[in-house]
């Protein structure tokens, strides 16, 4: 895979709580040079990123309910509408893990449906945070996200002790089948691992050190 093809699979993330405006500017400028799929940044920086990325092929990915997922459905819906209005082209929502682990499947599906609706046709990704889940819970989460109409299901926020693994991506790709794509995220810090994840069927990668993947 050449550099450009790989770059077009990457959401280049800058989600540290202490990121400065200067760092966001640098992040966006680098993303333009590399032609990453998106920059994933804190929602308060979206208007700045929209100006910086105007006319480029780099989208803006908004984190919703991030990183813990236990905020209310109503707040996630508002956050999504606000982020899209300010210029986000994609949105990644952290699920309420307690709903999934507690078998509140209908409530979780309803939350995801409302998130997808709030995104108004923009690309939606559902974060499962697989570190906390059993294989059966991962499969269940993928199936719920698919029924709710999401575009992607995603491994991790990058804030848990473990991010994407080959085993969990295999499970998710198999469970997703047709019509739902998989984003591998968390701990992807070299090109070999990135290409292994893509070979397994991941369609998008999230990386906070995206420059390392192009070496």
Q: Confirm whether 32 is a catalytic residue.
A: no
**Domain limits at 159?**
3-214
Rounded to an integer, the average pLDDT of 50-63 is 98
Q: Confirm whether 50 is a catalytic residue.
A: no
Could you identify the residue written with the tokens 């926020």?
157
Percentage of the chain beyond pLDDT 70 is 100
pTM over 0.75: yes
Average pLDDT, the chain: 97
Residue 1 has what pLDDT? 87
Answer whether residue 215 shows pLDDT above 90. no
Q: Confirm whether 92 is a catalytic residue.
A: yes
Residues 26-59: b if buried by 16+ CB within 10 A, e if exposed: ebbebbeebebbbbbbbbebbebbeebbeeeebb
Q: Distance from first CA to last CA of the chain, Å, rounded? A: 12
Catalytic residue among 92, 122, 125, 151: 92
Number of domains in the chain: 1
Q: Considering only CA atoms, give the Rg of the chain.
A: 16
CA angle (172 as vertex; 187, 102 as ends), nearest 5: 95
Rounded to an integer, the average pLDDT of 99-127 is 98
In this prediction, residue 72 has a pLDDT band, given cuts at 50, 70 and 90, of very high
Catalytic residue among 76, 122, 125, 154: 154
Catalytic residue among 76, 125, 146, 183: 183
CATH code for the domain of 182: 3.20.20.70
């Amino acid at each position: 895979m050449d550099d450009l093809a790989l770059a077009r699979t990457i959401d280049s993330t800058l989600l540290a709580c202490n990121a400065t405006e200067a760092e966001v500017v640098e992040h966006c400028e680098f993303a333009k040079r590399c032609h990453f799929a998106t920059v994933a940044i804190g929602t308060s920086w979206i208007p700045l990123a929209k100006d910086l990325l105007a006319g480029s092929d780099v989208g803006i990915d908004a984190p919703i309910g991030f990183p813990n997922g236990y905020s209310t459905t109503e707040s996630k819906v508002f956050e999504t509408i606000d982020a899209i209005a300010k210029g986000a082209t994609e949105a990644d929502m952290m699920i309420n893990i307690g709903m999934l682990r507690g078998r509140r499947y209908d409530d979780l599906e309803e939350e995801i449906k409302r998130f997808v609706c709030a995104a108004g046709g923009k690309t939606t990704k559902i974060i499962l945070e697989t570190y906390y889940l059993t294989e059966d819970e991962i499969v269940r989460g993928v199936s719920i996200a698919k029924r709710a109409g999401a575009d992607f299901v995603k491994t991790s926020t990058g804030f848990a002790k473990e991010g994407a693994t080959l085993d969990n991506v295999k499970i998710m790709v198999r469970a997703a089948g047709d019509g739902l794509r998989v984003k591998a995220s968390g701990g992807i810090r070299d090109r070999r691992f990135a290409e292994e994840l893509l070979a397994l069927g991941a369609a998008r990668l999230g990386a906070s050190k995206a420059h390392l993947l192009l070496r």
